[in-house]
Amino acid sequence: MAIGEKLKQLRSEQGISQTELAKAVNVSQPMIAQIERGTKILTVPLAKALASFFQCSVVELIGEEEGERRKEFENENTGY
């Protein structure tokens, strides 16, 4: 699951709007919308703030996508 999809899922499960989440983590609502759509990259400080808000780890927030990207990178660079 992409980071934006995971963020939207967590937000929906909590029953909060993008605006409410944005205020809670001190960013703008458009920033949350862009991350959910995948048009904006999640920064480390924001990932930490979101993980704290949702009471999960950053790893849980970003899911397995990062591990999958690492495998793709390694495969591209090793020829496997």
Which domains occur in the chain, in start order? 3-78 (1.10.260.40)
Average pLDDT, the chain: 85
Assigned token pair, 54: 């949702």
Confidence of residue 66 (pLDDT cuts 50, 70, 90): very low
**pLDDT tier, 29 (very low <50, low <70, confident <90, very high otherwise):** very high
What pLDDT sits at residue 63? 77
Average pLDDT (48-61) is 94
Cα angle value 45/19/34 (rounded, 5°): 60
Mean pLDDT confidence for 45-72: 80
What are all long-range contacts of 54-62, with beta carbons under 8 Å and residues at least 24 apart? 54/10, 54/14, 56/10, 61/3, 61/6, 61/7, 61/10, 62/3, 62/6
